[in-house]
Amino acid sequence: MAEVKDTLKELEERMNKTVEFMQTDFAAIRAGRANPHVLDRITVDYYGSATPIQQVGNISAPDPRTIMIQPWDKSLLKPIEKAIQKSDIGINPNNDGSVIRLIFPILTEERRKELSKDVKKKGEAAKVAIRNIRRDGAEVLKKMEKASEITEDDLEDGNKKLQKLTDKNIERVDKAVEIKTKEIMTV
């Protein structure tokens, strides 16, 4: 039975990582409000190494539609500006010589619907990944039972717990999709 618990713990970690990855993806989707997390994937060339923007300056949101980046080293203003322009966030940075401002336009209804569809697709992809983890776990449990490492009752109990784990994580995905869609559709 200890083998089953270890297997379930490992599968739970994989499912949690899947949900966390999806939520990280959601954070990068801009919903009309200035969210500093849209910069999470952007890196700047800082003395020859790709460094996340968060590590080269202070990032703040002075109002709901503006992000302000104040680099600790003023020589990084141009590289930060270029990195933002190359990224896929679709916002042109304003450089005033000491800070960079990103002003988020109000999203159109059409763009909101596109973003909602994208969120739902990412949610579905996460659910598929969770179901694949469940399938892999069920196969591992079957192999353990065939090799006489666990009993048939342990197999059945393990599969029930695996299904509960899967249901719980799919529910988390659905809730996250619902929250993000509501955030996007709120004008």
Using alpha carbons, list the distances in angstroms from residue 3 to 6, 46, 129, 165.
Answer: 5, 47, 23, 17
52, pLDDT greater than 70: yes
124-157 tens-digit pLDDT: 999 999 999 999 999 999 999 898 888 889 889 9
Q: What string of DSSP letters covers 48-78?
A: TEEEEGGGTEEEEEEETTEEEEEESSGGGHH
Q: Which of 82-91, 109-118, 123-132 has the lowest mean pLDDT?
A: 82-91
187, pLDDT greater than 70: no
Give the domains, in start order, of the chain with CATH numbers.
2-28+108-185 (1.10.132.20), 36-103 (3.30.1360.40)
Beta-carbon contacts of 42 under 8 Å, excluding residues fewer than 6 positions away, are 52, 53, 83, 84, 87, 89
Share of the chain above pLDDT 90, in %: 37
Question: What is the DSSP secondary structure assignment for residue 96, as one 8-state letter?
Answer: -
Nearest to 180 by CA among 66, 61, 30: 30
pLDDT reported for residue 1? 63
Using alpha carbons, list the distances in angstroms from residue 102 to 122, 146, 166.
Answer: 26, 59, 40
Supply the mean pLDDT for the chain: 88
Nearest to 173 by CA among 59, 10, 37, 21: 21
Nearest to 64 by CA among 109, 104, 101, 93: 104
Q: Which one is predicted more confidently, 107 or 149?
A: 149
Q: Which of 26-35, 38-47, 165-174, 175-184 has the lowest mean pLDDT?
A: 26-35
Beta-carbon contacts of 2 under 8 Å, excluding residues fewer than 6 positions away, are none
Nearest to 121 by CA among 40, 29, 187, 38: 29
